[in-house]
A = this chain, B = another copy of it.
Amino acid sequence: MQLRPEQILNDHQLRRTAVRLAVLRIFLEADEALSQSYLEQQFEQVDRITLYRTLRTFEQKGVIHRALDGTDTPKYALCAGECNEHAHHDHHAHFHCDDCGRTYCLEEMVAPRFHAPRGFRVDEAHMVLTGVCKECLEGVSP
């Protein structure tokens, strides 16, 4: 996992701009999957279209991946490092807390191999877990 925003942009051949660096910093601090609207709120002022395109570019280039969490709001999280322009490797599970609404990447939890049912060919498998996260269970968060 790359640690510095500048490094990440270099690795993916992306120009070093203010918005991109800021977005990466937010992701690096967050350690969870974030929605575009959440990101927007982290800025004093930012153009939502720029943010939209930043996320789209990041996803295409393999910097972030979409975290499937069962809600209607797409969320994104930093890729672990093996992702690039050509392929994503985000086959870990995602956990959505019904209490605080946060979505976590469970890097350690990889989807098991499934045999293709009904004559289908399975290319990818994703898992979505829902429940209550540790912090909410402990009553730390509302």
Could you list which residues of chain A lie within 8 angstroms of chain B, going by C-beta atoms? 68, 70, 72, 74, 93, 95, 97-98, 104, 106, 108-109, 111-112, 114, 116-134, 137
Contacts and interface: CB of A to CB of B under 8 A. Distances in A.
Given A117-B109, A137-B119, A131 B127 contact: no
B128 A125 contact: yes
B95 A120 contact: yes
Copies in the complex: 2
Contact of A129 (B93, B108, B124): B124
B118 A134 contact: yes
Contacts of A124: 129-131
Given A95-B120, A120-B95, A128 B131 contact: no
Contacts of A112: 112
Contacts of A109: 114, 117
B123 A130 contact: yes
Nearest to A68: B70
Nearest to A137: B121
